[in-house]
């Protein structure tokens, strides 16, 4: 067994006290799940950390929050553990946020720079119209293969990390660790993965655990709101729309023989522009709620990585929308390179940044749904 890192010990101390206290059970799934795991093994704690949606309700309700000498801070502690866990499962290792930022910036500005150097300016700055306009500037194969490769690698890397988390948290067995156990027992599941899937998907789709027991997320004490959840929905569904846009474009390209760009009232453009605007609105909402949040409930050292994800997604959505707006101007070529750069940056940083939270969280929600009767 690997030595216990300090944040794991702190999470164990915290949730052990919650298990004695029990006042917050009504806020979210974390507390009942912790009660089912009194031993709080490393795997148990990882599961609980990814199950926490960081709504902060329990912190403002905590009779043992600082300055009490027990100094309990569930959201900050679990946020720290989440990041530590992403890093622990990252292969081959976890680059620092500074390195990721450099990578994202290199892609974002490197591709336009490359375009300037490699593409004759009469092509790059020509006003292109009609089918195949994009590929006249950057050939399809140069666009598609690197993207397919980058996203494929990201999927493999994230999948490996999530699989390792799944095993660590108990594999297909569900709760419970007995007091004194060193790892979670594999027990016959109360529900199978298949039976639990609908519930898990609903929890992903609605972020049920982000509602603070009914009143919404807490940015600060006494101020709870549903805005954060709605902002995340906008970003999440906006992102899915953009994905759908890309898939429908690929479909039209390959099966209908219709290369991009597409008319304004086509699937790819409508999905992409609604999705992009939703993403930007969601990002703005999340950023706003982040700035308002009581810093006591944040894990400070994670802030750069959180802002980096917001920034990267904003670059993807923003550059996509600008490209759409200016696609019939001479700026199209460079903007296309910029947008592709942002997407490449997202794909390459994805397995090592906060983006993975969605996959870890979905996995934790699945396990939770298997345990719910």
- Both structure tokens of 318: 């923003």
Rounded to whole angstroms, the Cα distance separating 177 from 44 reads: 8
- The continuous run of DSSP H or E covering 217 comes out as strand 217-220
Task: Count CA atoms closer than 13 A to 284's CA, side-chain side.
Answer: 8
Residue 21 touching ligand SF4 (CB under 6 A): yes
- 4, 125, 127, 139, 262 from 130: Cα distances, Å: 60, 16, 10, 15, 8
Among ligand SF4, ligand HEM, another protein, none, what binds residue 286 when CB lies within 5 to 8 Å by partner kind? ligand HEM
Residue 83 interacting entry, from ligand HEM, ligand SF4, another protein, none, C-beta within 5 to 8 Å by type:
none
373 sits near another protein (criterion: CB under 8 A): yes
**Piece of the chain touching ligand SF4 by CB under 6 A; list 22-30, 158-166, 235-243, 277-285:** 22-30
Of the candidate residues 120, 188, 214, 295, the single one contacting another protein (CB under 8 A): 214
Query: φ and ψ at 55, to 5 degrees?
Result: -80, -15
- What is the x/- site pattern for ligand SF4, positions 59-98, by CB under 6 A? --xxxx-------x-xx-----------------------
> Which of another protein, ligand SF4, ligand HEM, none does residue 32 bind (CB under 5 to 8 Å by kind)?
another protein
Structure tokens at 272: 């992409």
Single residue of 49, 62, 143, 280 touching another protein by CB under 8 A: 62
191 lines the binding site for ligand HEM (CB under 6 A): no
Residues 167 to 196 in contact with another protein, rule: CB under 8 A: 178-180
Pick between residue 64 and residue 125 the one whose CB is nearest to ligand SF4. 64
User: Shortest approach of ligand SF4 to residue 205 CB, angstroms?
Assistant: 17
**Pairs from 195-198 (Cβ < 8 Å, separation ≥ 24):** 195/370, 196/366, 196/369, 196/370, 196/372, 197/366, 197/369
| 63 makes contact with another protein (CB under 8 A) | yes
Task: Decide if residue 266 touches another protein (CB under 8 A).
Answer: no
Q: Site size for another protein, by CB under 8 A?
A: 33
Closest by CA position to 42, among listed 91, 88, 93, 94: 88
User: Could you tell me the maximum CA-CA distance found in the chain, to the nearest angstrom?
Assistant: 72
Q: Taking Cα atoms as reference points, which of 28, 50, 46 lies closest to residue 177? A: 46
Nearer to another protein, 132 or 213 (CB): 213
Pick 96 or 215: Cβ nearer another protein: 215
| 352 in Cβ contact with 305 (< 8 Å) | no
CA dihedral 184, 185, 189, 192 (to 10 degrees): 60
- Residues forming the site for ligand SF4 (CB under 6 A): 17-18, 21-24, 27-28, 30, 52-58, 61-64, 72, 74-75, 209
- Residues forming the site for another protein (CB under 8 A): 16-17, 19-27, 32, 35, 38, 57-58, 60-64, 67-69, 178-180, 213-215, 221-222, 373
């Amino acid at each position: 067994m690997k030595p216990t890192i300090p944040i794991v010990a702190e999470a164990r101390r915290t949730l052990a006290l919650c298990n004695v206290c029990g006042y917050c059970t009504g806020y979210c799934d974390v507390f009942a799940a912790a009660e089912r795991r009194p031993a709080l093994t490393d795997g148990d704690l990882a599961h609980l950390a990814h199950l926490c949606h960081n709504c902060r309700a329990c912190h403002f309700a905590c009779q043992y929050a600082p300055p009490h000498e027990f100094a309990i801070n569930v959201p900050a502690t679990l946020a720290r553990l989440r990041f530590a866990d992403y890093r622990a499962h990252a292969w081959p290792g976890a680059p620092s946020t500074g390195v990721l930022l450099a990578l994202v910036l290199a892609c974002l500005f490197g591709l336009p720079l490359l375009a300037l150097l490699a593409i004759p300016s009469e092509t790059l700055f020509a006003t292109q119209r009609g089918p195949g306009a994009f590929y006249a500037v950057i050939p399809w194969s140069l666009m598609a293969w690197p993207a397919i490769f980058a996203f494929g690698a990201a999927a493999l890397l994230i999948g490996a990390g999530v699989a390792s988390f799944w095993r660590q948290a108990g594999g297909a067995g569900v709760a419970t660790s007995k007091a004194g156990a060193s790892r979670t027992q594999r027990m016959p599941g109360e529900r199978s993965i298949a039976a639990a899937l609908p519930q898990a998907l609903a929890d992903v789709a609605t972020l049920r655990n982000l509602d603070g027991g009914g009143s919404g997320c807490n940015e600060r004490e006494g101020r709870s709101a549903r805005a954060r959840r709605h902002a995340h929905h906008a970003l999440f569904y906006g992102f899915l729309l953009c994905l759908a846009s890309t898939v429908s474009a690929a479909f039209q390209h390959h099966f209908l023989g219709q290369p991009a760009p597409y008319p304004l009232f086509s699937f790819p453009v409508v999905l992409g522009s609604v999705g992009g605007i939703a993403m930007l609105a969601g990002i703005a909402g999340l950023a706003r709620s982040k700035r308002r949040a009581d810093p006591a409930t944040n894990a400070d050292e994670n802030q750069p990585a959180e802002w980096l994800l917001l920034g990267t997604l904003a670059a993807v959505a923003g550059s996509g929308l600008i490209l759409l707006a200016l696609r019939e101007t001479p700026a199209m070529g460079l903007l296309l390179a910029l947008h592709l750069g942002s997407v490449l940056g997202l794909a390459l940083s994805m397995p090592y940044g906060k983006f993975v939270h969605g996959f870890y969280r979905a996995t934790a929600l699945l396990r939770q749904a298997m345990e719910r009767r």
